[in-house]
Amino acid sequence: MNIINSVGALALSTRLQVLSEQLRKDGALLYKEYDINFEPKWFPVIYTLHQKKELSVVEIATEIGYSHPSTISLLKELEKEKIVQSKKDKADERKRIISLSTKGEELIVKMLPVWSIINSALEEIIDNENNLLKAINEAEEKIKRSSFFQRALIIKEKAGLK
């Protein structure tokens, strides 16, 4: 094993990032395998719109956990591909209401069986003594109660008082 994989928690952020990147790349290959013109990075937006039908830009950003500028740039690509469409909110002129286009809906129908396969393959990979998805949920739950930074400060305090 290389050093970074044996440091333990210290290199956690790097480990998460490398694994994420690895999965994203294989995901892209899979869509290509099925001749579907779809990029993995679009998934959060598309899946959210599939579930919620109509949302504003910031609502989508919140759902997918990205900043709103990142969301805008994803939406721009998706609008260029004619997968999503948008219209002004009549009640609030600042808002843009985003929804899937007909092409977008058709794309989803094509992707559903692929998503099912992707899901099975990922379930296979994470189904271990320690389930990766559950581990993420549990870790995020802890962070929500008190962030990594706050916890470190508290540990520092305690060490200082000794």
Contact pattern for its own copies over residues 58 through 97, marking x by CB under 8 A: ----xxxxx-------------------------------
Whichever of 22 and 120 has its CB closer to DNA, that residue is: 22
Strands (E), the chain: 55-56, 84-88, 96-100
- At its nearest, how many Å lie between its own copies and the CB of residue 54? 14
Query: Per the structure block, which two tokens stand in for 119?
Result: 């899901």
Whichever of 21 and 138 has its CB closer to DNA, that residue is: 21
Contact 46, 100 (CB under 8 A): yes
> Residue 11: CA atoms inside 13 Å, Cβ hemisphere, count?
11
Q: How far apart, in Å, are the Cα atoms of 46 and each of 34, 63, 78, 91?
A: 18, 11, 9, 25
- At its nearest, how many Å lie between DNA and the CB of residue 136? 16
Query: Per the structure block, which two tokens stand in for 69?
Result: 């500028």
Q: Which of 48, 57, 97, 104 binds its own copies (CB under 8 A)?
A: 48
Q: Which of residues 103-122 bind DNA (CB under 7 A)?
A: none
Binding site for DNA (CB under 7 A): 14, 17-18, 21, 25, 39, 41, 56-59, 65-70, 72-75, 89, 91-96
